[in-house]
Structure 1
Amino acid sequence: MKINQQTKANVVMFMVSLLPPLIINCSITDSFFPFQFVNFILIVWCACRIFSFDNKPISSDTITYLFIYIFLGIAPLYQFSAKALLWGGAPIKDTDYFYATIILLGGILIYDMAYHVYYYSKRYLRQSKSSTHAKSLQLSNTRALILSTLSLVITLYAYKDYPILLILREYNEDVKIVFDAFSNTSLNLIYTIVIRPIPIVVLMYYNIISKKQCLFSYILLFIVLITNFPLSLPRFYVAGLYLPLMFTYYRRLIYKPLLIKFIFIFGILFVFPFLNQGRTVTSVSELEVSIIPDYEMFLTGHFDTFQNGLRVIRDNYVTYGEQLLGVILFWFPRSIWPGKPIGSGGVIAEEFGLTFDHIALNYWAEGWINFGLIGIVLFSIILGKINATFDIKFYKRKPSICYMTIYFIYLGMLFFILRGDLISCVAYMVGLSAATYGCSKLIIHKSR
């Protein structure tokens, strides 16, 4: 049987993906075989799913396994080898790593079964007749420019006292007040998740419909860079906005899965460490840019989602749906509901006496913190159905321009959704979807 070049490349990438865990395991002096064995099984399973030999286009399922490979496979192994304890709290035993990995592996396998059951049971449904091809649509340049300019004006107003924050994301307490430029918390939320991303959504629509670059597209890009400069945003938001934008510039990328997988892995291993250089400075003069990434971040809170989930599972901390209620009603003003649940990261930071409260909690641990072991099963099935639905509608039907854009955004935001915590990522995803849908109604119309 003749093996094509794509399959050969997948085999090579699969073998390469197993090198990091093998190297780390060989360097561990204080080993614990049960955890290392189960961890290696998880990593091998992820590598099989990522570099499967069917040569399918990139999908939300593939992105999910890329996340698991890095954040729930490689990162915990690094932390185990270094005996790292993130954010303090009670010491983590070797057996804690083992049991948490076993439970997560079970949840991942349930997700995989749910995804494939739903995907193959729905894939042959009739294609939607309501979608409209991009060639039959037009974008109103005037309305697009008005919307983008409106977002720009509001952004400049919000950052008028500290314009440096348009370039660098600083944490100095003297300048943090810029995030409260609007006295009403609800207005701050609407601005952050709906109004600010409008220029980049408009540019995505322009790229999909027009497919040609001209002065107008460069003006839109200029507005995007002012309102959403990469170094001024949380890194998950950079991925959630700029990855889908890249897809609209180079649509064929979506059908080159190996390249996309490389971009994701390269982004985590090199780009994110590079962007980390702009997070803690308080002025441009303090910024020291190095082309050599700072890999100390892999033993810090940037990859804390596994350990935080481990704590929840180890101590069997369950809120019986309270956190999920906060996720569903994230939009409800805290001024009216003072007891509204905070993010799960803040909850476990307080519960376990951690030194930082703005921390991540992975998707499967969110299931546990809500309903225990049943929650992991339930959340795994839900994720499988959501991912399968997104992939089916994009690849097996004729998606609308609006849906196509939301799908690209979902692919970019999926790392954030899976890393957690859930209340933040749901708020951002809903806000971006609302901005995308609203812009489509205002600036896109059928050709006459």
Structure 2
Amino acid sequence: MPGKWGAARPVRGLAALGCWALLLVVLLPVLILQSTDARFGAATAVQCVVVVHTGAALARVLTDVRARLIAFGFWLFSYVWLGLAPLAMLATDAYPRGFMVDAHTAFLTTLVVEAGLLAYSAGSAVAMWRSSRTSTVLEPLLARRLSPARVLLLCGLALLLAVVLIPGQGGLSAFFLSRQAANEAAAAAEPAGTADRAMAAWLLSVPAFWALVALVHVPRFTAGDRTLRGLRWLLLPLLVAVNVTVNNPISQPRFWAGTVLLALVFSASWLRGPRAFRIGAAGVAAVVLVVFPYSDYFRYDKREPVKVVSLAEQFTSNGDYDAFQQVETGVDYVRTHGFTPTAALGPPLFFVPRAAWPGKPDDAGILLARHAGYTFTNLSAPLWVETYMWAGFPSVIAVFGLIGAVGRRVDYLRHRLRHRRGTLAALVVPAFGFYQLVLLRGSLMAIVGPLALLVCIPLLITRKAGRRALPPSAAPTASAPEPRPRREALSLPTGGART
């Protein structure tokens, strides 16, 4: 019987992979091309390769024997925003923005995108080959455990920030206005204080989000530690109310609101297993393809009735899918102005004020908007074009190869730590996995500040795990599943925070 079931599992896995590949690589692209007056050229041919690459990789993630959240976020964005959407644009020569490029620039853009994808795949493959080796940096980092005392301090800080900052943001009602109304009110009240208001908004949103996630995942106990259990039930409804206020999809960008919701869902213990993850990831992919185009209903004051149109029409008319066109704009910018290696210093040194650094690089999205002649500058700058603007193909390959290697390693370590409650891996990996959609869409200068806050807060509320808490370094096998470790007691210290 074991041999029979062992043989059946690979067959089912291959069948599922084949079904997903058929849907993503064949049916959806054909549906898009059939609904348009398709034109084919060199750029369209390379774009078909991109669609096959991203669709096959996404299908592999959706049928993997491990839950790979980092890979899922990357390939989902790549397939939709840089696979299907550009296929519709190139086939129809229709774009959501006004700036147009020639055929050579479009062809070069598809090569830039595919170069990044190949580098990511290569980096991931190298990391998979070395997965059985112990990581002296990532493994102890992701194995860090929640400190109850620090979690409670964060909860108190999040509630204090809500009390102090919400009135300055316009009161509770301001968080339930459309983003258009909120931005207009902010500009009218403080025309020069946009950056300060944005920072205050993130200081409200990110700590409140992490306080709720951490409080949910502090280990529960059947006996003892009544103080912790009592404080949990007292704080949970307050933090839920704060998050509904400051992280709702009405006043917040959909990418961030989606990150908050999906991180809460996918950090749950019942979704860490491969089977549950595959079901949840398939649901997310369906929502992104079908629901996301219509999810900006609350973005504007004047809300027209929802009009359902084809995917091809959404991709070519909706500005939310401008990623490929922005890459084209960046390639055209480089052809005109050349590479700007110093721009790579902007994101890591985002905290340096322009008064102290007069030559600080501009935000890439703003730079591309100026080059295209747009009157609005709040635009994306996908990671592909930012890295290309630094030094061309070498910088694209280096950055995406590194991202692929680190992402695969993080997914592997989260799989090994999946049975341990309250680890950094259980919290950060789901959050970063979905925040990747914001990171990949760019621009880096616009999101690196919130990203730093998103990463640093979990580090501050966790403590180093003991050597005995780390799982064995040998890679698990299909025939010998990892034993479920005993739950370790973790209680509030009586004489101050334990470090």
TM-score category of the 2 structures, normalised to the smaller one: 0.7 to 0.9
Q: Deviations for 1:205-262, whole angstroms, at most 9, x for unmatched residues?
A: 1222246995642332112111222221111211222211112346425633432332
**Is the 1:367–1:378 Cα contact (8 Å) retained in structure 2?**
no
Residues 331-350 of structure 1: pairs in structure 2 closer than 5 A:
331-350=351-370
Asked whether 1:43 is paired with 2:51, we answer yes
2:27 aligned partner, one-letter code: L
Deviating more after overlay: 176-185 vs 359-368: 176-185
**Structure 2: how far apart are the matches of 1:293 and 1:234?**
23
Residues 378-397 of structure 1: pairs in structure 2 closer than 5 A:
378-396=398-416
Displacement of 1:325 after TM fit?
1.4
Residue 16 of structure 1 corresponds to 23
Q: TM-score by structure 2 length? A: 0.77
Residue 219 of structure 1 corresponds to 238
**Structure 1: how far apart are the matches of 2:142 and 2:372?**
50
The verdict on how the C-alpha distance between 1:297 and 1:388 changes in structure 2, with shifts beyond 3 A counting, is same
Residue 328 of structure 2 corresponds to 310
The verdict on how the C-alpha distance between 1:411 and 1:125 changes in structure 2, with shifts beyond 3 A counting, is same
Displacement of 1:108 after TM fit?
1.1
Residue 457 of structure 2 corresponds to 435
Using CA pairs under 8 Å that are at least 6 residues apart, name the structure with larger relative contact order, 1 or 2: 2
**Is the 1:202–1:439 Cα contact (8 Å) retained in structure 2?**
no
**Is the 1:240–1:409 Cα contact (8 Å) retained in structure 2?**
yes
Asked whether 1:60 is paired with 2:82, we answer no
Gaps of 5+ in 1: none
Match of 1:153 among 150, 154, 163: 163
The verdict on how the C-alpha distance between 1:311 and 1:67 changes in structure 2, with shifts beyond 3 A counting, is same
Displacement of 1:358 after TM fit?
1.4
Helix, strand or coil at the partner of 2:250: helix
Q: Deviations for 1:31-85, whole angstroms, at most 9, x for unmatched residues?
A: 1143333222221222221222543212312321111111111011122234223
Residues 64-79 of structure 1: pairs in structure 2 closer than 5 A:
64-79=74-89
Q: Deviations for 1:397-435, whole angstroms, at most 9, x for unmatched residues?
A: 588723432222111111111111122232221121123
**Is the 1:39–1:77 Cα contact (8 Å) retained in structure 2?**
yes
Deviating more after overlay: 391-400 vs 36-45: 391-400
1:308 aligned partner, one-letter code: Q
**Structure 2: how far apart are the matches of 1:423 and 1:247?**
28
Q: Deviations for 1:4-44, whole angstroms, at most 9, x for unmatched residues?
A: 54543332222111312112223443511433332222212
**Structure 2: how far apart are the matches of 1:306 and 1:179?**
35
The verdict on how the C-alpha distance between 1:291 and 1:94 changes in structure 2, with shifts beyond 3 A counting, is closer
Q: TM-score by structure 1 length? A: 0.85
The verdict on how the C-alpha distance between 1:333 and 1:130 changes in structure 2, with shifts beyond 3 A counting, is closer
**Is the 2:43–2:90 Cα contact (8 Å) retained in structure 1?**
no
**Structure 1: how far apart are the matches of 2:15 and 2:189?**
49
**Structure 2: how far apart are the matches of 1:236 and 1:131?**
25
**Structure 2: how far apart are the matches of 1:390 and 1:68?**
19
Helix, strand or coil at the partner of 2:439: helix
The verdict on how the C-alpha distance between 1:324 and 1:142 changes in structure 2, with shifts beyond 3 A counting, is closer
Displacement of 1:352 after TM fit?
2.9
Asked whether 1:83 is paired with 2:67, we answer no
Give aligned pairs, total: 438
Residue 480 of structure 2 corresponds to none
Q: Deviations for 1:370-401, whole angstroms, at most 9, x for unmatched residues?
A: 11122212222222233134224323458872
**Is the 2:66–2:415 Cα contact (8 Å) retained in structure 1?**
no
Helix, strand or coil at the partner of 1:332: coil
Gaps of 5+ in 2: 1-6, 221-228, 464-488, 494-499
Residue 242 of structure 1 corresponds to 261
Asked whether 1:423 is paired with 2:445, we answer yes
Displacement of 1:344 after TM fit?
0.5
Displacement of 1:440 after TM fit?
4.3
2:237 aligned partner, one-letter code: Y
Match of 2:112 among 103, 112, 128: 103
Asked whether 1:200 is paired with 2:222, we answer no
Rg larger for: 2
**Structure 1: how far apart are the matches of 2:456 and 2:176?**
23
1:345 aligned partner, one-letter code: G
Residue 122 of structure 2 corresponds to 113
Residue 373 of structure 1 corresponds to 393
**Structure 2: how far apart are the matches of 1:179 and 1:341?**
28
Residue 320 of structure 1 corresponds to 340
Residue 371 of structure 2 corresponds to 351
**Structure 1: how far apart are the matches of 2:42 and 2:142?**
51
Q: Deviations for 1:263-303, whole angstroms, at most 9, x for unmatched residues?
A: 3323322443333011121xxxx456759689665323211
Match of 1:404 among 426, 446, 449: 426
Residue 3 of structure 2 corresponds to none
What's the C-alpha RMSD, in Å, of the aligned pairs?
3.3
**Is the 2:124–2:404 Cα contact (8 Å) retained in structure 1?**
yes
**Is the 2:219–2:490 Cα contact (8 Å) retained in structure 1?**
no
**Is the 1:59–1:411 Cα contact (8 Å) retained in structure 2?**
yes
**Is the 2:67–2:411 Cα contact (8 Å) retained in structure 1?**
no
**Structure 2: how far apart are the matches of 1:429 and 1:446?**
29
